[in-house]
A and B are shown apart, each in its own frame.
Chain A
Amino acid sequence: MAAVTSSMNTVWDVEPGESRKPGIVHVVMLALFTGIGIVVGTFGSLAVPLGFVSAFWPGQAVQSIGAIWFGWWGGIAAALFPLISNSLSGSAPLPVSIMYLPGNLLQGMVAAWAFRYFKTDPSLKTQKDWWVWIIFGAVLPNLIGAAWGSTTLVAFGLVQQAAQFTTFLGWFIGNTIPTVILGSLVLKFVSPLVVKTKAFCKGLWA
């Protein structure tokens, strides 16, 4: 994939002589973000207890944000924390959560790839940054997640095939709205701190 180049320095640019490699801090960040996701995901599932259907789930914001800031480390957290939060809230049994894994991974990594490809500032400084965030951080991940999730539910017989589209729509809308609100706030105000830390990943692993 050809990278979009810009004459201006972005937070993603690796400076000459700069050495970046995965370290303990990334493993720690993976664990911490998984912990954050467990709390936010469980809270969302318990706040609107529709069970296996995701109707209000701020956890998706954590998935996108984590992957944007920390690349694959955030992506792995995005896949891992719903396994635990779904079990804690009772919103999805283990087999269903395991089937959700690829969808959850993609929900995080789409934003990670897009932000790096389009050299988007995580602090959402320009209009272009906002559009990339909304489309690739909120809309597209939730389209993928809702499609994957509703298909999983049909496969497990928890939702009728005829109801799949309605389930998909409710899932998509119910997740996209908290992602946009919560994710925008956090990216705007916390990204300036994150980009200065050792854990911030300019690439996908460091």
Chain B
Amino acid sequence: MTIAVAIKDLEWKYENTTQFALRKVNLEISENTFLGIVGANEQGKTTLVSCIKGLIPHSFNGVYRGSVEVFGQAVKETSGLHLAREVGLVFADPEAQFTAMTVEEELVFGLENVGYDINKIRERLEWAAEVTQIGNLLDKSPYDISGGQKQRVAIACVLAMDPRIVIMDEPTSMIDPLGKQFIFDILRKLKEEGNRTIIVVEHNIEQLAPLSDQLALIHEGQIVKVAPPDEFFADPQSLIAQGVYPPEVAIFAGWLHSQGYLPDASPIPRDLAEAVAAAQTALKMGSG
């Protein structure tokens, strides 16, 4: 399987700071997989995705060691323009990424930068507007719409450019519950397409876990665990100790395991449906 992102011994220290924000990070992300990145605040999650996107070191000053490669190309040596074709990044604060007068201009700006012709731009604009359901917002100012709509516009701007890797950095942190659900619905659709590498930094593990092929935990600038969700949630207490709260269903299943109601080999449920199935299994075992 092709490796989309290869990170080797990555270390990064921001200018005017004394501590390294990332320390000896090693990670490989396969193409067309969904990676969820979790961790408490200020542990290095945003710094890590910024390194994959190339914001670090192109837009930040500091000490950079190790390497990050995207589809075999070193990010440090690749231009921002080329990186924009390969890697899209949705920031946590949607408003921080708007520079144009209207939503339509926001969407086409990136498409013009990557050199698409008018027909291609129109095609990508229509597609992105449909996927994110922002067609009725195109002539509005991106500052005059709700938080959830803003984030959908931000996602549309990235998807329109058709990058092979899509990174979303806490995309639901600043929006209401209904808006959050819509964002996860978009992520679900993207995952179902299966032709993009998706990296999502999120605190909302309940929603993130069912979508993820792999989860990565960052703690104090280091990746301490990378595993499929089954394995990732096998030890909920250690996760809690590092500031990550597993889904309630995983904690419930962990308790069932500890009480012997479930065999050790049974998978950790990732969502409610799997948890109900696990409970039914436990009940059968109890009555059998």
Contacts and interface: CB of A to CB of B under 8 A. Distances in A.
Number of chain B interface residues as a range: under 10
Contacts of B16: 196
Contacts of A25: 59
Contacts of A196: 16
Interface in A147-206: 196, 198
A153 to B, nearest CB: 34
B100 to A, nearest CB: 12
A24 B59 CA distance: 9
B61 interface: yes
A24 B80 CA distance: 11
A24 B79 CA distance: 13
A198 B59 CA distance: 9
A102 to B, nearest CB: 30
B63 to A, nearest CB: 12
Interface residues of A, number: 4
A38 to B, nearest CB: 15
Nearest to B80: A24
Contacts of A198: 59, 61
Interface in A15-52: 24-25
A25 B59 CA distance: 9
Nearest to A18: B61
A200 B256 CA distance: 59
Contacts of B61: 198
Interface string A61-84: 000000000000000000000000
Nearest to A25: B59
Interface in B42-59: 59
Contacts of B59: 24-25, 198
A84 B96 CA distance: 25
A127 to B, nearest CB: 29
B216 to A, nearest CB: 29
Interface in B12-27: 16
Interface in B90-106: none
B43 to A, nearest CB: 24
A24 B16 CA distance: 21
Contacts of A24: 59
Interface in B231-268: none
Nearest to A24: B59
A24 B84 CA distance: 15
B15 to A, nearest CB: 9
Interface string B157-168: 000000000000
A25 B80 CA distance: 14
A84 to B, nearest CB: 15
A196 B17 CA distance: 12
A195 to B, nearest CB: 11
A198 B15 CA distance: 10
A25 B61 CA distance: 13
A99 B102 CA distance: 33
A159 B127 CA distance: 59
Nearest to A28: B99
A21 to B, nearest CB: 12
Nearest to A198: B61
A16 B160 CA distance: 43
A199 to B, nearest CB: 12
Nearest to B60: A198
B124 to A, nearest CB: 23
A198 B16 CA distance: 12
Nearest to A19: B61
Nearest to A20: B61
A5 B173 CA distance: 51
A159 B107 CA distance: 49
B261 to A, nearest CB: 57
A184 B16 CA distance: 27
5 contacts: A24-B59, A25-B59, A196-B16, A198-B59, A198-B61
Interface of B: 16, 59, 61
Sort A-B residue pairs by CB-CB distance and give the 4 closest, nearest first.
Answer: A196-B16, A198-B61, A25-B59, A24-B59
